Structure 1
Amino acid sequence: MDKLSLNKHISSSFNEEIAEIRSHVMAMGGLLEQQLNNALKAIINADAQLAKAVIDTDLKVNDWQLQIDKECTSIIVKRQPAASDLRLVLAIMKAITDLERIGDETRRIARAALESFNSEQQELLLNLDNLGRHVGQMLHDVLDAFARMDVETALLVHKEDKKIDREYEVITRQLMTYMAEEPHSIPKVMNVLWSARSIERIGDRCKNLAEYIIFFVKGKVVRHSSAEQLEQEIRI
């Protein structure tokens, strides 16, 4: 096999391996979408059985993270990718860390769902449901952007995080006021507060995923950039 043929073979093998890794990332992401949806259903509907299923399934999320990390390490050692190929592998390795942490947050929401809430406390969960749906859409959109390496969609997801932060602040104030007026409710309502915090953190993770897409496509590290700075960066 001459050098040109060898290089083509190596390139073809790398493309096949990276395509498989990307398919595994999407499978992990799809599982997490389902996990988040089920965790929210469990806490809103007081479904302890569904909550336990979410907690148990988190092990599969961890397994995916370990498997994909191993695959990425292997491809770096075997193929020694450079430039954009290396950026893609690094972006994937960063992404699966954030995806695994999204799994941790969904597990925390599911654990809170094992608590029982009275009818008045149930009303507090409505805003939690709205926040969860908003973040669920963020997760769906950023996974779609990751599949296509779509910078424009990634930028939109990045911008959504500020809206999530504002919604979270409103819910926090509402819950703090309720606990001040109903001190006996503090232990249970704190579970709602921690769940809201977990949802907000999932939004942060989605924002990180959007930044990894931009890192791969544009070759620029954009962490800690404002939405305005980020938009300027990707237009250059």
Structure 2
Amino acid sequence: MDNMIIKQHISRQFNNEMEQIRNKVLAMGGLVEEQVELATKAFMSSDAESAEKVIEQDQLINALEKDIDHECTEIMAKRQPAAFDLRMLIATLKIITDLERIGDEATRIAKMAMRLEGGEFYQDKYFEIEHLLDMVKEMLNGALDSYARTDTEELVAITAQDSKVDREYGSITRQLITQMMEDPRNITRALDVLWTARALERIGDHACNVCEHVIYMVKGKDVRHLSHEELTRTVNETSKIGR
């Protein structure tokens, strides 16, 4: 962890507890990233085995959320942390909620993939999803990396991607509606793609939420519901927040 931000406490045990929480959050984030990719690939390739793995991992992610939640609450009760330590614990509680919801969205995609197994497989015809998946993966990875480094430098660029994800989702929706209107035989396939695209768009929203929680953790400022311009100004402020 960044020694410029996270001070060394008199209690070595306190340091260890905070580091343990951080490592568990990153482990949970890694599992969620894997879920998103596996679920979407399972949908595009009709791979039931990968879909089953995603569904199985969801239980592990839920257990991690409960475990981290309990540890954060215990530290707040026993240690009565202040300044950055308190912000880190509060932000962590919010981050794991968003990560768990990302896992839920991935699980929905995986369940759809399993439902479609054995049906008509549209080889190479889920191209709309691939670009959206790449964008969302980049956002989620960047948000988790910023949490790991307690650094807000890249967060403005990451949150800016959300508007691109929204535009891509809107474009996919319009294309699919056109396809359904032109030929009713496209309806089933189009609806499957639409629901998967919607899940990916929601994952992008949750990745943005993680970014906002990291900004609160590092800067001590609540940037929820700010415009992109206001968020940029907040992140670029040079004033130091009390640790």
RMSD over aligned Cα atoms: 1.7
TM-superposed CA distance for 1:158, in Å, is: 1.0
What's the secondary structure of 1:55's corresponding residue? helix
Residues 9 and 15 in structure 2, CA contact (< 8 A), matched pair in contact too: no
Greater helix content: 1
Residues 124 and 175 in structure 1, CA contact (< 8 A), matched pair in contact too: no
- In structure 2, what is the equivalent of residue 3 of structure 1? none
TM-score, L = length of structure 1: 0.91
Aligned length: 228
- In structure 2, what is the equivalent of residue 105 of structure 1? 105
- In structure 2, what is the equivalent of residue 151 of structure 1? 152
Residues 151 and 213 in structure 1, CA contact (< 8 A), matched pair in contact too: yes
- In structure 1, what is the equivalent of residue 3 of structure 2? none
- In structure 1, what is the equivalent of residue 4 of structure 2? none
CA-to-aligned-CA distance 1:178-230 (integer Å, 9 cap, x gap): 12222243234212111100000000001000001110111110011111111
CA-to-aligned-CA distance 1:31-75 (integer Å, 9 cap, x gap): 111111111210111111211221121111111111110111111
| 1:162 partner amino acid | S
Which runs of no fewer than 5 residues in structure 1 stay unpaired?
A: 1-6
Which runs of no fewer than 5 residues in structure 2 stay unpaired?
A: 1-7, 238-243
- In structure 1, what is the equivalent of residue 141 of structure 2? 140
- In structure 1, what is the equivalent of residue 223 of structure 2? 222
What's the secondary structure of 1:25's corresponding residue? helix
- In structure 1, what is the equivalent of residue 46 of structure 2? 46
- In structure 1, what is the equivalent of residue 36 of structure 2? 36
Instruction: Pick which of 188-197 and 207-216 moved more.
Output: 188-197
| 2:66 partner amino acid | L
Looking at structure 2, the residues matched to 104 and 225 of structure 1 have their Cα atoms a distance apart, in angstroms, of 26
1:39-78 counterparts in 2 under 5 A? 39-78=39-78
Residues 168 and 197 in structure 1, CA contact (< 8 A), matched pair in contact too: yes
Question: Percent of aligned positions with the same letter in both sequences?
Answer: 46
TM-score, L = length of structure 2: 0.89
| 1:216 partner amino acid | M
Looking at structure 1, the residues matched to 152 and 168 of structure 2 have their Cα atoms a distance apart, in angstroms, of 25
Looking at structure 2, the residues matched to 95 and 186 of structure 1 have their Cα atoms a distance apart, in angstroms, of 37
- In structure 2, what is the equivalent of residue 16 of structure 1? 16
